[in-house]
Copies of this chain bind each other. A is one copy, B any other.
Amino acid sequence: MSAQQMPAAPPSPMLIFNTVMSVQRAYALKAAVDLDLFSAIARGSQTSAEIAKTCAAAERGVRMICDSMTVMGFLTKSGNKYSLTQDSAVFLDKNSPAYMGRALSFLMHPSQVANYQRMTEAARRGGTLPQESPLGPEDPVWLDFAHGMAPLMMPAAEAIAELVQKESGSRPSIKVLDIAASHGLFGLTIARRLPQAQIYALDWANVLEIARKNAEAQGLGGRYHLLPGSAFEVGYGTGYDAILITNLLHHFEPAENEKLLKKAHAALNPGGQVIMLEFVPNDDRVSPPVAALFTLTMLGNTPKGDAYTFAELAAMCRNAGLEGTRLIPLDPTPEALVVARKAS
């Protein structure tokens, strides 16, 4: 090593140690959510004794969790009183409309963590075994996913709706297919903005039940149509101005995605667009960080999925007959829109 290359700081094991210990920090956050202590603080409990009483938990345990939440940035502490941070008040208080506590039940589901515990084997093999995706379509945890992830998806939903409005807003009627509709947020945001839009939502039947309820709660049930089943098997119909494919392509290998995109191409009106929401790393595959790291979710949970670069997604679109593929970043969210068009 030359003098020029001499490191400024001595080697330290702390990054390794902190990375490993982040497992317990994640479970501490889950414990705080499960105990619902953020809601307790939102309702006025301040000390560990008061919070423990509200949450029906031991004061000692509540104190240990609250102190840890303070270190981790989810609470502040002044003397022996805890307060919510802005983010906790918005996303972790059960009475907040943007509550995302249920997302933790999905993201930290024992079957997901079991998959991560098999990451060494997945890496050695290049993906999980098909039988290692133990969450079947009817697993109730997908309901937690649908409920919990919606708040995270709001900025993307607004961006998608804006795109559809800009493109098709002047038409007397608009037909939109929302593939992998989940919570329904994407299609419903379009329906709210564009009274002439008819939304066709495709997902597993039990998940669509949530989307349907959300549609009816917003008075949009009359323009909300259900296509229950697999995106690879259900007939889409035709005449769509826009087809949304959100958080879906990363689960599959490129050849499968091309099948899906061909089906979308066939269902679109001329000039209609496919709007994809994806984690899209740069060509270096190591930036931006959250999009690049999404490859781990796919390595751990799917046999052949990946976080695809824009070049890879554009190639899939091209092979499916779509054209003019473009990337629309959604900063500060970690995802991006990829938009392609059927020739007019």
Contacts and interface: CB of A to CB of B under 8 A. Distances in A.
A287 interface: yes
Interface in A84-137: 86-87, 89-92, 98, 100, 103-104, 107-108, 110, 113, 116-117, 119-120, 122-127
A31 B113 CA distance: 14
Contact of A58 (B17, B123, B334): B123
Contact of A120 (B30, B122, B151): B30
A73 interface: yes
Contact of A72 (B19, B58, B77, B103): B19
A280 to B, nearest CB: 14
B26 A91 contact: no
Contacts of A126: 57-61
Nearest to A34: B120
B73 A13 contact: no
A311 to B, nearest CB: 15
Nearest to A32: B123
Interface string A55-82: 1111111111101101111100100000
Contact of A64 (B20, B31, B296): B296
Interface string A1-37: 0000001000111111111111111111111001100
A287 B70 CA distance: 9
A244 interface: no
Interface string A119-160: 110111111000000000000000000000001100000000
Contacts of A61: 122-127, 299
Contact of A68 (B60, B74, B296): B296
Contacts of A71: 286-287, 289, 292-293
A198 interface: no
Contacts of A18: 290
A16 B299 contact: no
**Among A77, A117, A125, residue most surrounded by chain B Cβ atoms (within 10 Å):** A117
Interface in A276-310: 281, 284-287, 289-290, 292-293, 295-300, 306
A167 B11 CA distance: 30
A13 to B, nearest CB: 5
**Among A23, A113, A289, residue most surrounded by chain B Cβ atoms (within 10 Å):** A23
Given A77-B286, A293-B71, A107 B25 contact: no
A263 B60 CA distance: 28
Contacts of A127: 58, 60-61
Contacts of A113: 23, 113, 117
A22 B23 CA distance: 7
A147 to B, nearest CB: 14
A120 B59 CA distance: 13
A63 B307 CA distance: 12
A92 B284 CA distance: 24
A172 interface: no
11 contacts: A11-B91, A13-B98, A18-B290, A23-B113, A27-B116, A57-B126, A58-B123, A61-B299, A64-B296, A68-B293, A110-B117
The 9 A-B residue pairs whose C-beta atoms are closest, nearest first, are: A58-B126, A61-B123, A22-B22, A60-B126, A27-B116, A11-B90, A34-B120, A31-B119, A31-B120
